[in-house]
Structure 1
């Protein structure tokens, strides 16, 4: 049973239940390469066995011929021995040949069989390995980020989080499309195939223990249901939701969303700004695109900045977060920074100098 402060106990989800499945990022070799590698290993074992038999050919007897074994006879004996066919027409007769069969050829036979049945063994053990990995993952997953919907908005949110230093291992993607979750796995994310409006799916993503939940569904009604479900599971998480229509913002806030981003209105504002002032639109696009040019950052006030004006900070401070109040930098209450404040600043991206240097070198 899993518990969370202030929550009712949640039953450990069963990954085999219908409707969802947790998948992990993995790197697969192409099937042709796997088959070729195993065939090469089997051929290597066979050639090694042929060489061992041929070097000690005087210690073997062929019932059909009194002559020492030829290379063909050695290959024949190695083949029937490794495949456990054993016709008995060629047998080890000397002590050295028998000892070689016991301590060398028999282990090679076992290795040969393991290589040939390796695919079957892998299939039989795959489920067990996945269950062990899933159990370990559930124990370790705390204070992570869940992204519901991995379309354009979800991918952009993930890219921004990664740019801010969040490891991919701390991001879990939820999407109903198996192709989308497979693409997320290929990019290094753990993914859950299922409907993000269902509590069982969000529980399988450990949303009840997440620190942040990003809901980037394609439809507003889906976003509302997913927000309600997520807030019911996790009372403390920060839930950020993207919607198309501004009229749905109050409903989402009532449903438990911490912040709501109206994509259509935001895009329209940038369009209007770009029409009136293309440069202003370019700066706004730069600010919301993390990793190039100027970046918007939220950070705590340093000891050196406490007691000073926001204008005295090294970064350009545009807002002050004091408790639950968001103050503009020019408001009287924000004239002096307090040690417990957080500031919203504009700073040059850390990647920008490197990029500019690279541009200069290219030129």
Structure 2
């Protein structure tokens, strides 16, 4: 079902142009109506410029009716000239008028055609541009974070990561909901349309070279399958998974998750605490909001701190990460800090 990661087949081995629509690279975009309006206004401005030039030099033009050119005649000549129709009923006859045609009208004609043809070419080449961006992105993406699911949990996780300094360009979103993917793309995120339970879809995200994977699906069974697939493709990435029921925690961990968050129980505990000590919940929300107040952070132990106790530091230390395992402050194992330890501490947001 998951495929052999040593022999990529399917989507991951498809040519880049075949991935347009599935893998979407964000770019600065403006409304197509705004772009079209600008092009039309620019074309009209070119017409009026050409008509004004012809009207100013109207004595050098000949009308087959023999009358002197009016501004309407000048507009008519500019229209048929810039569109290269050229009926010939109005034509420059004097040397000065012909010189103006060469120096002014001809460049305006070329520019006018560029504006008109450019709109068509822009539509026709958009797919090629997307394919080129996909090719470039797939060859350069490294150490990024893959977020599976762009619902409430996924969006909140991304907000927290961005608040902690992770660049939006280093986050890839996978979802099956086109509406959610549109919202993610509007936020500047790279998106992949498909089910993350399939190894080919995860390969499109570059999960093999990802530093972290966040699984925020709506179903626990889906979370288990996604975790298993992600761990199969990447043995070293940090995989964090959100599930609804605590009884599924062991399944997710056996599938390869490094961190498991039980959303229903966590919310239930906070609700219970809020009935008696709402200020505790307020402080917890403060710690989980990196943009303001306090936040929980991690840092390396400094050389001057090695051998000392974490309880004697100026920072409020909550725990020590040693050899990948969290040891809470107060345990005898961390009475003396070692080189390579990491500290979980409380810092002021913005520092």
Q: Secondary structure at the match of 1:253?
A: helix
Give me the whole-angstrom Cα distance separating, in 2, the residues matched to 1:215 and 1:149: 7
Give me the whole-angstrom Cα distance separating, in 1, the residues matched to 2:236 and 2:328: 26
Q: CA deviation at 1:27?
A: 4.1
Do structure 1's residue 177 and structure 2's residue 177 form an aligned pair? yes
**C-alpha spacing 1:106/1:19, structure 2 compared with 1 (3 Å):** closer
Q: Secondary structure at the match of 2:304?
A: coil
Give me the whole-angstrom Cα distance separating, in 2, the residues matched to 1:101 and 1:61: 14
The aligned counterpart of 2:219 is 219
Q: TM-score, normalised by structure 2?
A: 0.92
Give me the whole-angstrom Cα distance separating, in 2, the residues matched to 1:70 and 1:281: 79
Q: Secondary structure at the match of 1:173?
A: strand
Give me the whole-angstrom Cα distance separating, in 1, the residues matched to 2:226 and 2:20: 15
Give me the whole-angstrom Cα distance separating, in 2, the residues matched to 1:112 and 1:319: 68
**C-alpha spacing 1:165/1:259, structure 2 compared with 1 (3 Å):** same
Are the counterparts in 1 of residues 20 and 127 from structure 2 also a CA contact under 8 Å?
no
Are the counterparts in 1 of residues 317 and 329 from structure 2 also a CA contact under 8 Å?
yes
Higher alpha-carbon deviation: 10-19 or 215-224 = 10-19
Q: CA deviation at 1:36?
A: 2.2
Q: CA deviation at 1:188?
A: 1.4
Q: Which runs of 5+ in 1 are unaligned?
A: 1-6, 352-363
The aligned counterpart of 1:331 is 331
C-alpha RMSD of matched pairs (Å)? 2.0
Give me the whole-angstrom Cα distance separating, in 2, the residues matched to 1:177 and 1:129: 24
Give me the whole-angstrom Cα distance separating, in 2, the residues matched to 1:8 and 1:237: 17
Give me the whole-angstrom Cα distance separating, in 1, the residues matched to 2:271 and 2:295: 20
Q: CA deviation at 1:79?
A: 1.4
Are the counterparts in 2 of residues 286 and 293 from structure 1 also a CA contact under 8 Å?
yes
Q: CA deviation at 1:236?
A: 1.1
Give me the whole-angstrom Cα distance separating, in 2, the residues matched to 1:150 and 1:208: 21
Higher alpha-carbon deviation: 153-162 or 265-274 = 265-274
Q: Secondary structure at the match of 1:279?
A: helix
Give me the whole-angstrom Cα distance separating, in 1, the residues matched to 2:325 and 2:44: 72
Q: Secondary structure at the match of 2:162?
A: helix
Do structure 1's residue 157 and structure 2's residue 153 form an aligned pair? no
Matched ranges for 1:1-363 at <5 A: 8=6, 10=8, 12-14=12-14, 21-65=22-66, 67-350=67-350
Q: CA deviation at 1:276?
A: 4.0
Q: Which runs of 5+ in 2 are unaligned?
A: none
Give me the whole-angstrom Cα distance separating, in 2, the residues matched to 1:324 and 1:63: 91
Are the counterparts in 2 of residues 20 and 195 from structure 1 also a CA contact under 8 Å?
no
Are the counterparts in 2 of residues 26 and 186 from structure 1 also a CA contact under 8 Å?
no
Q: How many residues align?
A: 344
**C-alpha spacing 1:93/1:19, structure 2 compared with 1 (3 Å):** closer
Are the counterparts in 2 of residues 208 and 233 from structure 1 also a CA contact under 8 Å?
yes
Are the counterparts in 1 of residues 19 and 131 from structure 2 also a CA contact under 8 Å?
no
Q: CA deviation at 1:20?
A: 6.8
Q: CA deviation at 1:19?
A: 11
Give me the whole-angstrom Cα distance separating, in 2, the residues matched to 1:113 and 1:60: 24
Q: CA deviation at 1:327?
A: 1.3
The one-character-per-residue Cα deviations of 1:44-99 (angstroms, maximum 9, x if unpaired) are: 1001111111222222212220x543323222211111122211111111222223
Q: Secondary structure at the match of 1:242?
A: strand
